[in-house]
Amino acid sequence: MRKVTLFKGDGIGPEICEAVKKVIAALSLDLEFEEFDVGENEYLRHGAFIPQAAFDSIERNKIILKAPITTPIGKGFRSLNVQLREKYDLYANIRPARSLPNIQTPFENIDMVIFRENTEDLYVGKEEKIDEDTIHATKIITRKCSTRIIRAAFEYAKAHDRKKVSCVHKANILKMSDGLFLSIFNEISKEYPEIEADSYIVDNACMQMVMHPEKFDVMVMPNLYGDILSDLASGLIGGLGFLPSANLGEEIAMFEAVHGSAPDIAHKYIANPTALLLSTCIMLEHIEEYEAAEKIRRAIDAVLKEGKVRTPDCGGTSTTQEYTDAILAHL
């Protein structure tokens, strides 16, 4: 029996987790969830965002499936996502953006995968107060972390028959830090002559993504740009409700929906579970349950193509349960 640590999260988190559990149960996989309450509500109840038992579970199972977690803003709390990435060295954030049937956007046939370095850059959170009117933030780029994310992007492209890897940077201004990232990209690209390699300054990359998204296949970039461009990519396909995410380390992997906990619709049972379901598909592939992952994707595509059952975020009136039931029917 394969066990997975499940973080139910805050807001709509428990509701979309229920949808995932029902879909997994319908596939009769040899898989069991160890469930934990985490996030703001857990902190208010017990004084810790993540209980020790949950950390113990992660270290046993090596896999986390995580619903959205609320981190209080402006109260000195660091993002729990950042903490988990740092604690378990989840260096590769991978977000595939794929057009889904019958989801109306100005764009068609989007199929790009963003590799975001996940452990350094400005996200180390190192700031220094120089005086009352001046704050310095430290941007960190290292050869080790740049090398492994860039190599991961090329290895993914090779394994999935992708044709091109694009590097996103600001080396024209940040000549040392982003310059190092770009130079490592150029070095590694020579090891993969069968894969086209090119690079874009980050502001141009944003413009090209919304004018000519077909230019992009696999993209790799430092942490901050990856955060911004992956959200931009979600806009091309209909929003964060359709964007899955994986965070991979050498030993531990975390799969999550990257949208928020949406407290305004919590307990109304109208949340869209698609992003968490698609993240579950990546998790299933990670544990080599490829057929199950493909079945879920086909079922989601079939429901969206029919267009009869839609949650309110994509123009419908269906509940989370009705949408889940429609997916189950296609399974």
Q: Which of 56, 87, 144, 203 is catalytic?
A: 203
Residue 86: phi, psi to the nearest 5? -70, -45
Partners of 201 in the beta sheet? 169
Does the annotation count 323 as an active-site position? no
Q: Which of 111, 231, 301, 325 is catalytic?
A: 231
Does the annotation count 290 as an active-site position? no
126's tokens: 């190192």
CA–CA dist 225, 118 (Å, integer): 11
Q: Which of 121, 178, 227, 313 is catalytic?
A: 227
Partners of 254 in the beta sheet? 64, 247
CA–CA dist 113, 195 (Å, integer): 15
**Using an 8 Å Cβ cutoff, are 118 and 88 in contact?**
no
Q: Which of 10, 43, 121, 170 is catalytic?
A: 170
Question: Whats the size of the chain, residue-wise?
Answer: 331
**Using an 8 Å Cβ cutoff, are 236 and 262 in contact?**
no
Residue 27: phi, psi to the nearest 5? -85, -10
Q: Which of 43, 88, 91, 123 is catalytic?
A: 123
Does the annotation count 217 as an active-site position? no
CB-based burial, 119-152: b 16+ in 10 Å, e otherwise: bbbebeeeeeeeeeeeeeeebebbeebbebbbbb
CA–CA dist 249, 62 (Å, integer): 10
Active site residues: 123, 170, 203, 227, 231
